[in-house]
Amino acid sequence: LKISSSSYHDNILDEEYDEVRESSNKENAVLLMLVRNWELSYALKSMRSLEDRFNRNYNYDWVFLNDVPFDAAFIEATTLMASGETKYALIPSSDWDRPDWIEDDIFEQSLNDMEKQNIIYGNSKSYRNMCRFNSGFFFRQKILDQYDYYFRVEPDVEYFCDFPYDPFQVMRQQNKKYGFVISLVEYESTIPTLWKTVREYIELNNDQTIDTSSDLYQFITDWNDIRTPRSRVEPTDRYNMCHFWSNFEIGDLNFFRSKEYIRFFDYLDSSGGFYYERWGDAPVHSIAAVLLLRENEIIHFDEIGYMHAPYFTIPQSEYFQLKQKCICDQTEEARIDFSGISCLTRWWKHGSGKKFMRETYQS
């Protein structure tokens, strides 16, 4: 059988998967879920899936975060579902609630305007708290201090294939700081002034080593898809809305805890955009990763099958789909990777995936 995949980036053949597994020691890592009590059954569904496909062989800890206390039923059921230890923490109000310097009238106006425009979660106050928390505070929760890596898990998601490796081990061994499975374009109406604010930040912090001529920077500013003829749209300095879908995220907590990331977050936060607009944590994390990391510190986990409604991804190679026992009964339209709103082909053009494209198609 011929293997055709950008598999874990540097040619791990399938026999070698087993060796990787055998040599694996547990990493200093945690499975992390922000969740509400009423989402218990969805939380259990995600846990069951990730346990079956990955964690039952590793028994990583689970940490659950909530802005209100978890109830006894939630704690009991999730503890029984986990193969590792489970821990529960209450998020302090200062990390969750709307700061009092946010002006009520501007905020209420934004909620109304966004509702009128039918923007998803446009009139939700709690959604804004959640996005700001996930942008600037999750990694500062005390309960995470002891860990180096986190794997974000959301309620009601599914992992379609056996994991062929421990992604935490891949992160550490290959010195990766941020890992994703799906990349797509953001709704522009949720972030009208985000890019302007980012550009201000770059200009104000010109002592830093932010390289706006890097290939990685082009991943979020090039408006041409890899499939469109070269230079159809002139190079710009406008955000093309590409971001890593953060409901799946494997990251190095030390990156988020760094003074560079916190300075970036603080600058964005001080503009009020998390409330006056509806900035998501996904574009914020993604832009930070592009500005503050090197290209080879970001990894696309091509071998992981994943569904968060309304989209899913599975390994590109049919061989791996079989080898990893994928079960994917979704409609083909929900498969995002080659759809018009996916940024994967742009990742292949500008991100660390391009090596694979060059090797496959240009040699």
Based on the shown chain and the rule CB under 6 A, indicate whether residue 135 belongs to the binding site for ligand GDP.
no
Per-residue binding string, ligand GDP, 195-234, x by CB under 6 A, is ----------------------------------------
- Long-range pairs of 118-125 with CB within 8 A, sequence gap ≥ 24: 119/187, 119/189, 119/190, 119/278, 120/187, 120/190, 121/278, 122/190, 122/278, 125/98
Based on the shown chain and the rule CB under 5 A, indicate whether residue 154 belongs to the binding site for Mn ion.
yes
CA–CA dist 13, 7 (Å, integer)? 8
CA–CA dist 117, 239 (Å, integer)? 22
Indicate which of Mn ion, ligand GDP, none lies near residue 155 (CB less than 5 to 8 Å, by partner kind). ligand GDP
Considering only 29, 34, 114, 314, the residue that binds ligand GDP (CB under 6 A) is 34
CA–CA dist 54, 230 (Å, integer)? 41
Contact present, 275 and 128 (Cβ < 8 Å) = yes
Residue numbers annotated as active site? 249
Smallest CA-to-CA distance from 193 within 98, 106, 256 is with 106
Based on the shown chain and the rule CB under 6 A, indicate whether residue 246 belongs to the binding site for ligand GDP.
no
Based on the shown chain and the rule CB under 6 A, indicate whether residue 154 belongs to the binding site for ligand GDP.
yes
| Of 34-42, 48-56, 107-115, 203-211: span binding ligand GDP (CB under 6 A) | 34-42
Indicate which of ligand GDP, Mn ion, none lies near residue 337 (CB less than 5 to 8 Å, by partner kind). none
Based on the shown chain and the rule CB under 6 A, indicate whether residue 66 belongs to the binding site for ligand GDP.
yes
| Of 53-61, 146-154, 182-190, 266-274: span binding Mn ion (CB under 5 A) | 146-154
Quick one: DSSP state of residue 275? H
Based on the shown chain and the rule CB under 5 A, indicate whether residue 225 belongs to the binding site for Mn ion.
no
Task: Please return the burial class of 346, using the count of CB atoms within 10 Å of its CB with bins 0-12, 13-18 and 19+.
Answer: buried
Based on the shown chain and the rule CB under 6 A, indicate whether residue 46 belongs to the binding site for ligand GDP.
no
Q: Which residues bind ligand GDP (CB under 6 A)?
A: 34-36, 39, 66-67, 126, 130, 154-155, 247
